[in-house]
Amino acid sequence: MELVEDSGLATRILSDLAAEMKIEKPMPHLAELIYCLTRSYLDRFDPVPLTPREIVLFAVGVGLEKVLLVGHKQQVQGECEGIHYSVDCLDYDGRVLELKSTRMAASKFPDSLSEGWRKQILGYMYTQAGPFPGTDSATLAIMHIIGGELTCWRIQASREEVVENWKWLQERCKIYMGLVEKKRVPSPYRYNMDWECGHCRYRMFCEARQVALLDTSEPCDSCGGPVAVGEGHSVCTVCREVKT
């Protein structure tokens, strides 16, 4: 038996997967407000094709959702105070259910619950209850790819937590839509979580934009590194400290 790698076929399959996963969402969508606004903007108005790694990871998530939820999927979509949302489904008891896949081991949870997941679930809780007291609970189902394990978590949040998170989303919405209206790309490294830059396909854009804005006259107060100056703020290119 002889095995010969066919990279051309792999590229074609990945291209088909990417086309199948492309879903147009109304703007602004809750999910795009949580993560890097620079990336959200570029995804909307000047997109770069998904990397092979991104396609594979997204395909795993989409495939799991189709298989695991096919029997009782009841996706809840709508708009709440100007922000669009789409909840994966409601669980057996009518709670918001969010399905996630991860390569992280089940033993890492719940301590390793990401800030992005937390904000997303709290946001969905608000869309179902609004500003009034309600049952602020949800279900998080996590498929752990490595280890082949499914864990489910009941999440209970205080009303204060839910409302404060929604206020944060509204502020992000105001910033994002203001920049969209002006047709202005959000400044790199200002509206993101640190880990997002690692495998981002827009990384070269942000690095080039930062170099263009570089100001060598005033070093960073914290580490002495060079500072990139944006509109109304500056960011250190070394320690990423932002000043407004």
Structure tokens at 60: 């795993």
Distance CA 68, CA 54 (A): 21
Task: From first to last of the 244 residues of the chain, give the pLDDT tens digit.
Answer: 998 888 888 888 888 888 776 777 889 999 999 999 999 999 999 888 888 888 887 777 777 777 666 555 566 889 999 999 988 887 888 788 888 888 888 888 888 889 999 999 999 999 987 554 555 788 898 888 888 888 999 999 998 999 999 999 999 999 999 999 999 889 888 899 988 988 888 888 888 777 666 555 567 777 776 676 665 666 666 666 666 6
Closest of 37, 21, 30, 116 to residue 77, by C-alpha = 30
What's the residue count for the chain? Answer: 244
Q: What is the pLDDT of residue 237?
A: 61
CB contact at 8 A, 176 and 27: no
Decide: helix, strand or coil at residue 238. Answer: coil
Domains and CATH numbers, the chain: 12-188 (3.90.320)
- For tokens 């709670």, what's the residue? 95
Predicted TM-score (pTM) of this structure: 0.78
CB contact at 8 A, 206 and 189: yes
